[in-house]
Amino acid sequence: MAGKEHTSAAAVTALGRAADTWLTWDKNPKTSAAVKQLVSDGKTEELEKCFGSRMEFGTAGLRAAMGAGVSRMNDLTIIQTTQGFCRYLEKSISDLKDRGVVIGYDARADPASGGSSKRFARLAATTFVSQGIRVFLYSSITPTPFVPYAVTHLKLCAGIMVTASHNPKEDNGYKVYWENGAQIISPHDKGIAQAIEGNLEPWPQAWDDSLIDGSSLLKDPYKSINKEYFSDIQKHCFHRDINKKSKLKFVHTSVHGVGHEFVQFAFQAFSFPPPLAVPEQKDPDPEFPTVKYPNPEEGKGVLKLSFALANKEEATILLANDPDADRLAVAEKQESGEWKVFSGNELGALLGWWIFTCWKEQNPEPGAVKNVYMLASTVSSKILRAIAVQEGFHFEETLTGFKWMGNRAKEHIDQGKTVLFAFEEAIGYMCCPFVLDKDGVSAAVIAAEMASYLATKSLTLSQQLAVIFNKYGYHISRNSYFLCYDQTTIRNLFDNLRNYDGGTDYPKMCGKFKVTGVRDLTTGYDSNQPDKKAILPTSKSSQMITFTFANGGVATMRTSGTEPKIKYYAELCAAPGNSDYDQLKKELEDLADAIEEHFFQPEKNKLQRKVD
């Protein structure tokens, strides 16, 4: 096998063995042909990309490009992953065969490798059925939140959602839920990963997905879960009369994903007329032809067609889901004619305020609020904390990701507490506790009801956000990221922060801003704790450092678990009564600029800035 000069003979031999094993096991004609061609052509560098390292199974499950090899999403890696997951479940849950699992999928597909979310879901179902385990396999595409909902509603042992959410079209993923209805966390991720390594060879019936057709072990939950889900979200509709009479017009886009019909059903459940759908984007399309990135979090570029339709139809509110409908973005037309796209933190403030307001109307008795909880991730706005201080409910912070908020919410619910709301700044909202994950379907219709109610008070969403900030204190944020594909560069950047300016400690200043606290959840250090040990869980496999500043600023720098990004989140939290928004915004911008100038050095020239 010919290769580049720097590739050792031993490495080439190892790649050859890996390719041979792959060809022995892989029965997908497209991926096996691709590997045979690479071997025949001596493409060592490409083989290294395919077989150099296996996808790492973590708390986010799997997410990678579709294609051949152990580093990518394909039929064989799906079979191997599910075999490991199956064995781990058998070991962990005694009544697995009686209760079963649920599997859902989005509309992603890759013609070049023959991979698709539906194909992967069927192979996963085949693995479980071959072992005599009941499988609830959705017969059509479904939003991600319908998988955790089914786990809880049907009292199942686990759930799998095949989706790459808002990632580029080349990617796919495998998201796993435990029997509590929340995403898996440690130690399950490590246990599943070990079980995968012990079950790499496909089982005898692994490739025969006709096994599930007509099997008594296979159930289709599509109709029943749709009915029950929309029945349950109706319990969170508090202003049906207003909804029926609302004169607001809403535009909705599913960004070529699964969300269109489900948001239509949600509006029907709340007695709204259906939102206007962006015609070019309402049907699922794995090519995502109208957007560069299928992620409404990216801002106005993704919403261009939505703005055009809304302007034409004189609609004032835009609702946008990502392709698997677990996230929600909202925009509102201002008096100037411009569109304001709310940040994830701003929408979190609005939804948190609204859900608490509705709860308070339903629960006026004194003392009830002491049993109420809201949650947010560490990189999200602290606005819920400020509201909690004044209103008397509990606010709790978790690590980044809904896997942490979902599991923590379930713990509170099991203790008889009321969990009203959880959110993270990446436009993820848990508005209904029967889904222990972010849910863009329920969030869309609840946001619509909030906007309709405010309209009866002659208030816009933007005006209500100002009311919230005036009462509880301005919380303004600037979040961004740099792209970085080199792990050494990432490691050097964060190591520099731990040994700042050649010393052996964290920075004391960031430009003119004084650092008053440091929490490093990679190493477990927290300067604000008496023993200097962090309270929140730590992980050496990911980078995350939070700095607090004397001016009330908070900034977190972290790596992404699913994308090649170094993200930073900066927020300035002002006390109630400080209404000098322009001055606060200027100070936040200065702080964020200082972070980029000082904390991203000396690696900044090796990073690629976010492009809107």
| Residue-wise pLDDT tens digits, 77-88 | 999 999 999 999
pLDDT at 607: 86
Query: Whose structure tokens read 């970085």?
Result: 484
Q: Are 282 and 257 in contact (CB under 8 A)?
A: no
Active site residue 165: yes
The span from the CA of 54 to the CA of 64, in Å, is 11
Cβ contacts of 351 within 8 Å, gap of 6 or more? 421, 423, 429, 431, 443, 446, 447, 450
* Beta pairing class for 101-105 and 135-137: parallel
pLDDT of 306-343, one tens digit each? 999 999 999 999 999 999 999 999 999 999 999 999 99
pLDDT at 164: 95
pLDDT of 89-118, one tens digit each? 999 999 999 999 999 999 999 999 999 999
Smallest CA-to-CA distance from 238 within 449, 4, 458, 522 is with 449
H or E, element range at 263 = helix 260-269
3-state DSSP percent of the chain in helix, strand and coil, to 5: 40, 20, 40
The pLDDT of residue 296 is above 60: yes
Q: Are 233 and 269 in contact (CB under 8 A)?
A: yes
The span from the CA of 409 to the CA of 437, in Å, is 10
First to last CA, the chain: 43
Give the residues across from 58 on adjacent strands. Answer: 61
Length of the chain: 612
pLDDT category of residue 612 using cuts at 50, 70 and 90: very low
pLDDT of 475-513, one tens digit each? 999 988 999 988 899 999 999 999 998 888 999 999 999
Among 284-288, 295-299, 499-503, top mean pLDDT goes to 284-288
Given 113, 165, 343, 377, the catalytic residue: 165
The span from the CA of 282 to the CA of 248, in Å, is 21
Token pair for 251: 């535009």
Question: Mean pLDDT for the chain?
Answer: 94
Q: Which residue has the higher pLDDT, 406 or 612?
A: 406
pLDDT category of residue 542 using cuts at 50, 70 and 90: confident
Q: Are 160 and 277 in contact (CB under 8 A)?
A: no
Give the residues across from 565 on adjacent strands. Answer: 483
pLDDT category of residue 2 using cuts at 50, 70 and 90: very low
